[in-house]
Chain A
C-alpha cells in the first residue's frame, strides 16, 4: 500500500475522530440495515395495534364530525359574530407549524452540515407531510362550502373571474400546496435507496411491492452522483420555502387591520414558533419511537440532547417575540393596539395567554439543565407542554384579537363547542393513523444516510493500513 493512501486514510480517520461518534462505534454497515429493517419486516406487536386502533378511532370521530358539518353547516362550531375565525384556523396554523421542524431538519441542517440530522430526518419529514395534510383540511372545512374549494385555484373558468392574487388567502393556497408537494418529493427521494434495501431483503409479494416502490433503484455510482446533486438542490429549494410558508401563513393575520394581528414581527415570530412547535412534536414522537422500535443506538441521547437545545433556542425566540409585541403595542400609542395587549394577560382570556406563556417560555427553560435533557421522561413531558402551548398560542392570537371588536356592542366571548374539540381530536387521529402506517411499512431511519456517518469503515481501514 502506498504512503499517500496510508496518509489520506489516517487523515480521514483523524478528522472523524475529532468529534465524538454520533452512532456507537461498534455499529457496522449491516447492523444499520438489520436494525432499521426489523420493524418493517417483523409482525407488529400488540402495542402497535393498540396505538393504531386508537388513532383510527379518533380519525373515525373526525370523519363523523366532518359528515355532520357537511349536512348541518358550520354552526356546529363555536363561531359567533366577531369571532369568525375559531378553532379551525387555530388548528390550521398549529398543524402547518408542526411540519416546519421536518423541513428544518432535512434541508437547513443539511446545508449547515449537521451530521446528526441523518438519524432523525426521515421521521421528521414524514411528520411534516402528515401535518401538512392535516393542516390543508382545515381552511377547506372552514370556508363553509368545501365543495367549492376549487374556486381558489386560478384556472380559466366559466365565471370569467380570476382569483385575487393580492389576497393572503390565495398566497396560502400556493404556499401550502407547494410545501406539501415539495416535501413529499424530497421525502420520497430519500426513501428510494432505503426501499431498495428493504426490497433486496424481502421475498415473495413484499419484494414485488417494495420493488415497485423503490423504482428499480440499484445504487450505481452514476445514480448516486445524480441523487446527491438532486438532494442538495431540494435542500436549497426547501430552505427558503420553509421560511416562506409560515411567513405567508402569518400574512393571513399581519396583512389585515385587526389590532393584535397587524404587526410586522409576525413572519419571523411565526417561523420561530413553527420550528419550536415542530421540534416539540419531533421530540414527543422520537422519544417514544426509539424505545418501541429499539433504535436507541441510532437516535442516541446525544441526538435528543441536540434537539432539546434547538427547542430551547426557539423557545426563547418565541418569548422574545411575545415581549416585542407588547413593547410595540405600547410604543405605537394606538389605543386599540394597547387595549388588545392589555386585555390579553388580564382579560377574559388571561387563562389562554398564561397557558401559552408557561408552556412555551417558562417550562422549556428546564432544557438548560443537562440532567433534564438526558432524562427521556422529562423530555417527553416537556415536549407535550410545548405542543399544548403552541396550540394555545394560535388560539390566543386568533380569539383574543377578534372577540373584542372595535365596537363594544359587538363584543362576544368565544367558547369552542364539543364539535370543535372532536374535530381537533379527529385531526390528531388522522396524523397518528398516517404516522403509524409509515412507521410500520417504511424504514423510519434513513439507512443510506446513517451509513455515511458511521465511524466503523474508517476505523477498520486504519487498522488494515497499520497492519501493512
Chain B
C-alpha cells in the first residue's frame, strides 16, 4: 500500500458528522469525501455539492424520446407506408399519443438509470476498497485529504477528534 492520502474520521452520530462536514468546508479544506449508510439531508449543503445533473439529463431525454416516438408513428403511418384503416386520416395523431407518452417515459427512464450509474461511477463488477464495513451499516466517515495547503496532519486529526470522531484512520 502506498502512502496515506486521507485522514479518516469515523462518526457514530449523524448530527455531529454533518456538523463536522460543514465545519471542514467552512475552513476552506478541499477534496473532502464523506461516506454515509443512508442519505442524510443537508449533507449536500454541508459539503457544498452541486445539484446533480441527472435531473436535467432525464428531462431532456423525456422530451427527445417523446418527439421521436411521435415522429416515428407519423412517419410510418402517413409517409412511409400509408394504409387506410377504418377511413381514418393517415396522420391520425391523437391515436399516437399513447406511443408518444410511452416512448418519452422509456427513453427518460433509461437515461435516468444510466446517468445514475455514470454520475456515481458504478457498474457491475466494479472493485471497491471498503474503508470500514460499518459504513454501509451505522457509521459515517469524513475523509480529509492530507495535502491541504498550510495545514498539518496533527491539526486535521485534532479537528476530527474535536468534532466527535470516535476513530481516526489513515487511508
Q: Which residues of A contact B (CB under 8 A)?
A: 5, 9, 28-30, 33, 154, 160-166, 170-171, 174-175, 177-178, 181-182, 185-186, 188-189, 192-193, 196-197, 199-201, 211-213, 215-230, 232-234, 237, 240-241, 244, 248, 251, 447-449, 451-452, 457-458, 460-461, 464
Contact = CB atoms under 8 A, between A and B. Distances in A.
Contacts of B35: 218-221
B138 A234 contact: no
A216 B122 contact: yes
A216 B29 CA distance: 27
Contact of B38 (A177, A211, A452, A461): A452
Interface string B111-130: 01101110110111111101
B122 A33 contact: no
B77 A449 contact: no
Contact of A457 (B14, B47, B117): B14
Contact of B15 (A9, A160, A219): A9
A228 B83 CA distance: 46
A457 B128 contact: no
A458 B13 CA distance: 9
Nearest to A222: B49
Given A215-B122, A237-B112, A30 B138 contact: yes
Contacts of A229: 51-52, 54-55
Contacts of A217: 120, 122, 128, 136
B152 interface: no
Interface in B83-137: 83, 85-86, 88, 92, 95-96, 98-99, 101-103, 105-106, 108-110, 112-113, 115-117, 119-120, 122-128, 130, 133-137
B38 A221 contact: no
A110 to B, nearest CB: 13
B166 interface: no
Contacts of B99: 165, 170-171, 174
Contacts of B101: 240, 244
B36 interface: yes
Across the A-B interface, give the 9 residue pairs with the lowest CB-CB distance, nearest first. Answer: A216-B126, A29-B138, A229-B52, A162-B76, A200-B133, A451-B38, A221-B34, A174-B102, A215-B122
Contact of B39 (A216, A448, A458): A448
Contact of B105 (A28, A30, A178, A196): A178
Given A165-B73, A224-B43, 14 more contacts: A30-B134, A33-B137, A178-B105, A189-B116, A200-B133, A200-B136, A215-B126, A229-B52, A230-B54, A233-B59, A237-B62, A244-B102, A452-B41, A458-B15
A161 B137 CA distance: 56
The CB with the most chain A CB atoms within 10 A, among B76, B109, B127, B133, is that of B109
B19 interface: yes
Nearest to B109: A182
Contacts, number: 212
Nearest to A166: B95
Given A165-B77, A174-B98, A225 B135 contact: no
Nearest to B98: A171
A219 B49 contact: no
6 contacts: A177-B106, A199-B136, A200-B135, A233-B58, A234-B109, A240-B101
A215 B123 contact: yes
A215 B105 contact: no
B98 A251 contact: yes
Contacts of B86: 166
B80 interface: yes
Contact of B113 (A185, A199, A223): A185
Contacts of A154: 72, 76
A33 B138 CA distance: 8
Contacts of B110: 181, 185
Nearest to A192: B122
Given A185-B112, A219-B35, A451-B37, A166 B88 contact: yes
A234 B135 CA distance: 26
A237 B104 CA distance: 9
Contact of A220 (B33, B95, B103): B33
B134 to A, nearest CB: 8
A185 B113 CA distance: 7
A373 B34 CA distance: 43
A451 B37 CA distance: 9
Most buried by B among A226, A244, A457: A226
A31 to B, nearest CB: 9
